[in-house]
Amino acid sequence: MFEIPEPGTFAENIAIAYDAPADLKKWPSLNNQRVTSKTPYMVYNGTLADCIRELLAKPIKQISLYDIVTERQPAFDGNVLSPGVAAEIAMRKDFPKG
């Protein structure tokens, strides 16, 4: 049975196109907190899988400053993936290794 994901999550039982184009973006920060009055800037452009790997290679204290922007897929509730959702996706059995 199909389950609708909660906001900020993804549906585990739906395939993900890991080769979809994606951007890793970083929010400007002050005291390691996002400055939401500013616009995030691109730090990496590649595939969704590459962006997830790049994000997870960042220092843990800074990971909350990043988002991944990709094309909307049936498994996602939007086109912006939070660091938490990206980490969950990386743990999927079908996530491409290196």
Q: Average pLDDT of the chain?
A: 88
Question: Would residue 8 count as lying in a domain?
Answer: no
Give the model's pLDDT for residue 30. 95
Domain assignment of residue 38, given as a range: 21-90
CB contact at 8 A, 1 and 79:
no
Give the model's pLDDT for residue 9. 55
Query: pTM for this one?
Result: 0.85
Question: Would residue 16 count as lying in a domain?
Answer: no
> Could you give the number of structural domains in the chain?
1
* % of the chain surpassing 70 pLDDT: 88
Assign 13 a pLDDT band (cuts: 50, 70, 90): confident
11 CB burial (10 A radius; 0-12, 13-18, 19+): middle
Supply 62's token pair. 């800074």
Residue type, 22: A
Supply 94's token pair. 């079908």
Question: Would residue 44 count as lying in a domain?
Answer: yes
* % of the chain surpassing 90 pLDDT: 73
Question: Would residue 41 count as lying in a domain?
Answer: yes
Q: Is the confidence at residue 65, as pLDDT, over 50? A: yes
Question: Would residue 33 count as lying in a domain?
Answer: yes
Q: Is the confidence at residue 1, as pLDDT, over 70? A: no
Question: Would residue 76 count as lying in a domain?
Answer: yes
